[in-house]
Amino acid sequence: MSGVLVTIRGTADASGALRHDFTVQSFAGTLPERLDAVLVESPDDPPFAALRQMASDPMQDTECLTAAGGALLHRLRQHGNGPQALDGSFQAPAGSAEREVRLHIPLILDQPHNLPWELLWDAGKGFLDLSQGLPVLRVIRVPETATRPTGRLGPEGLSVVAVLAARGIDALGEYTALVAALRGYGHPWRLRVYSPDDSVATAITAAADGRITHHHVPTTAAALLREVSQAQPQIVHLFCHGIAHPGGGAVLEVATLLSAAGGAALELSSVDLCSHLPATAWLVTLNACSSAGAPEGSRSVAAELVSAGVPFVVGMREPAEARILHSFTRGFLSDVVARIGTVLAHSNAQELRLAGSMRAGREAIRQHFAQVGVDVTARVKDWSLPVFFTRPDPFFLTPGDPGDPLKLAELQTQRQVLAEFLATQAATLEAEAIGAIAQRIAALDRQIGDLS
């Protein structure tokens, strides 16, 4: 088995300064043991600083993207196993699990998270994701007590909750892209939309599609997340702003009817989201600026959600224009639902793999910038901004109907009560009590999985 497995860890040098060592291995661990290499690149180094400052222009020549991607690939090849692991992946079948680069980066190491790994570039092969079908996956360690959502649909089919609430940006384009993707699914689905925008509410009313319902964003974050959790969604899609408070970490900013009139918006922290989404969510898409970036001294929202148990999370490494996000939504989610439908068509449990859907989303962004006779891949960085996070273990979908609905509802209610208590009272509890509650939530998740 091939595949490139890169593990990055932080160690202190003789002076006590943190350095980032990394090792390269195949997925099966078949390459010889070799000494670690040192990742000297930093997000503040010239190739990456220049990339952050660049504005995409398909008509303007630039070396920003190739310089950044080339620097990272060069560093991987400096490890003794790097060339062999990469060659093995190139030889693996297209679309297979072995044709991937999996980056294991601890949550505490924010600098490696913020490097543009999606841009890995070879002078002869081009950008490896696009030209070679070699996607980059950020793999996040998941504690044993983390939630594991069931891989089985309920009787109403695929449940999707979308929070389309970016203050100052009309969400109609995002709604249109989302619905276009779902209508290609070909199986039962339902969509619950939260948005303060009249344009979205009007479009939903005009469509008169019983599968789609509109709801105004509640006035508190707790109420919004409670309603999202009660809908038991397999896909949660958030179109909003991402912001970072100095020393306070990254949060998502969700507009309400009040904030549209000048009032404060809701702020959803990683803790808030992790307390409600992992119970059922297979995929969370964060179409929010910098939702995949780790502010200095903190952790990204996307990485935290995976650590809490969500199998797949997509975030944005930098700020992105709304029209670019619309293109990505339609391309990415169209491919996602197609893959879900294909997996569920089998008579037994099958692994759901979504890394390949990123290419469809990137291609949609590229088409947005398409110019006759122009290779936009080297002049437009926007296609590289979506970042894919996943758990190290495979996630399986199981066809069939759920079990005892009354017992299932009872267990889910117990889990929700405990999760909300932990989210709101953790600061007042002893570590032993927090651990006990987390273990009880994990046990409930296992029971829910058995009945689902």
Specify the pLDDT at position 166.
93
**pLDDT at residue 435 greater than cutoff 90:** no
| Mean pLDDT over each residue of the chain, to the nearest integer | 90
- Strands 37-39, 18-25: parallel, antiparallel or unpaired by DSSP? antiparallel
* Close Cβ partners of 2 (under 8 Å, ≥ 6 residues apart): 26, 27, 85, 88, 89, 91, 92, 98, 99
Could you report the per-residue pLDDT of 240-289, keeping only the tens digit for each?
A: 998 876 665 788 999 999 886 777 899 998 899 999 999 999 999 999 87
The pLDDT score that the predictor gives to residue 434 is 83
How far is 283 from 162, CA to CA, in rounded Å?
12
Q: Provide the pLDDT for residue 40.
A: 86
Long-range contacts of 244-253 (CB under 8 A, 24+ apart): 244/290, 244/293, 244/295, 244/298, 247/297, 248/298, 249/295, 249/298, 249/299, 250/290, 250/291, 250/293, 250/294, 250/295, 250/298, 250/299, 250/300, 250/301, 251/301, 252/286, 252/288, 252/291, 252/301, 253/167
| DSSP 3-state of 320 | coil
pLDDT category, 413, cuts 50, 70, 90? confident
* pLDDT for 429 beyond 70: yes
For tokens 């291609």, the residue is 363
The reported pLDDT for the residue numbered 65 is 97
Residue range 115-127, pLDDT digits in tens:
999 999 999 999 9
Instruction: Please say if the pLDDT value at position 67 is more than 60.
Output: yes
Which of these ranges, 33-37, 185-189, 306-310, 434-438, has the smallest mean pLDDT?
434-438
Residue 353: what pLDDT?
Answer: 95
Q: Which residue has the higher pLDDT, 124 or 415?
A: 124
Cα distance between residue 74 and residue 83, in whole Å: 10
Arithmetic mean of pLDDT, 385-407? 81
Report the distance separating Cα 326 and Cα 236, nearest Å. 16
SS3 355: coil
Separation CA 13–CA 19 (nearest Å): 7
Per-residue model confidence (pLDDT) at position 407: 59
State the Cα angle at 324 between 337 and 140, rounded to 5°.
60
Helix (H, G, I), strand (E, B) or coil at 215: strand
Residue range 236-253, pLDDT digits in tens: 999 999 887 666 578 899
> How far is the CA of 363 from the CAs of 69, 70, 227, 286, 344, in angstroms?
18, 21, 34, 18, 26
Q: Is the pLDDT at 298 greater than 70, yes or no?
A: no
What is the rounded distance in angstroms from the CA atom of residue 267 to the CA atom of residue 228? Answer: 15
Structure confidence at residue 151 (pLDDT): 93
* Phi/psi at 389 (5° precision): -115, 145
Q: Residue 373 has what pLDDT?
A: 87
At 295 the pLDDT is 62
* Confidence grade of residue 406 (pLDDT, cut at 50, 70, 90): low
Closest CA to 275 of 309, 312, 303, 231: 309
What's the CA gap between 232 and 153, in Å, rounded? 10
Cα 64 to Cα 69: distance, rounded to the nearest angstrom: 9
Q: H helices of 38-171, where?
A: 46-53, 64-78, 82-91, 110-113, 128-132
d(CA 21, CA 418): 39
Structure tokens at 193: 């939309």
| CA separation for the pair 117, 160 (Å, rounded) | 29
State the pLDDT at residue 283.
98
Region 350-360: what's the mean pLDDT? 95
Q: Which amino acid is at 140?
A: I
- Which tokens sit at 107? 């949550």
Q: Taking 70 as the threshold, does the pLDDT of residue 449 lie above it? A: no
pLDDT tens-digit readout, 139-196? 999 998 888 899 999 888 999 999 999 999 999 999 999 999 999 998 999 999 999 9
How far apart, in whole angstroms, are the C-alpha atoms of residue 350 and residue 389? 20
Those residues whose C-beta lies under 8 Å from the C-beta of residue 121, and which sit 6 or more positions away, are 65, 66, 68, 69, 70, 73, 127, 128
Percent of the chain with pLDDT over 90: 65
What pLDDT score was predicted for residue 430? Answer: 81
What is the structure's pLDDT at 432?
80
pLDDT band at 450 (very low <50, low <70, confident <90, very high): low
- Confidence tier at 10 by pLDDT (50, 70, 90): confident
What integer is the mean pLDDT of 369-390?
Answer: 93
Asked if the model's pLDDT at residue 342 lies above 60, the reply is yes
**Distance of alpha carbon 153 from alpha carbon 452, whole angstroms:** 8
DSSP label at residue 268: E
pLDDT score for 159: 97
Q: 215 burial class (0-12, 13-18, 19+ CB within 10 angstroms)?
A: middle
